[in-house]
Amino acid sequence: MKVRRGSVPVLYFCVLTFQLYAKFLQHVLGHFLEAACVGPTEDQLKEAGTPFECHKSFYRANGKALAMNETEGMVKLCCEPDEGRILSAHVFGAHAADIVQEVTAYITLGATLRQLRDTVHIHPTLSEVLIEVN
């Protein structure tokens, strides 16, 4: 499945889906987790027969999240298995939209997970959670 520029309906669907999921989490956990995504979901990649790998990282291991007392959250990146080209990002937690915005730029450029990890991130920031995905 190719991620194309200007695929607003897909992005809107993802944001709407995550907003509903976030409201569910708020009801269950008693507080709100911001959620944002760009690109296809795991299910959409599977349905399209696109080979991919998921890489995850958690806010609880991020210094800025600890300082903000916002340790509930995670990042999931779906990438091509060979080249590592980033296909999508799904983020739950504080400032999720800000983190997804960075990944959106990488996807637009056709960047790989390696290129994302090689990018210098200011310390301490929540966006460092991106370079910690494994």
Show me where the domains of the chain are located: 8-130
Candidates 27, 55, 95, 123; catalytic one: 123
Q: Which two tokens stand for residue 130?
A: 């991106």
**Number of neighbouring beta carbons within 10 Å of residue 125:** 16
What amino acid is encoded at 108 in this protein? Answer: T
- CATH classification number, 8-130, choose in 3.40.720.10, 3.40.50.620, 3.20.10.10, 3.30.390.30: 3.30.390.30
12-48 pLDDT, tens digit per residue, is: 445 555 555 656 655 555 667 899 999 999 999 999 9
- Provide the pLDDT for residue 8: 45
123 an active-site residue? yes
Q: Please count the CA atoms within 13 angstroms of the CA of 15 that sit on its side-chain side.
A: 11
Render 10-54 in DSSP notation, one character per residue: HHHHHHHHHHHHHHHHHHHHSS---EEEES--HHHHHHTT---EE
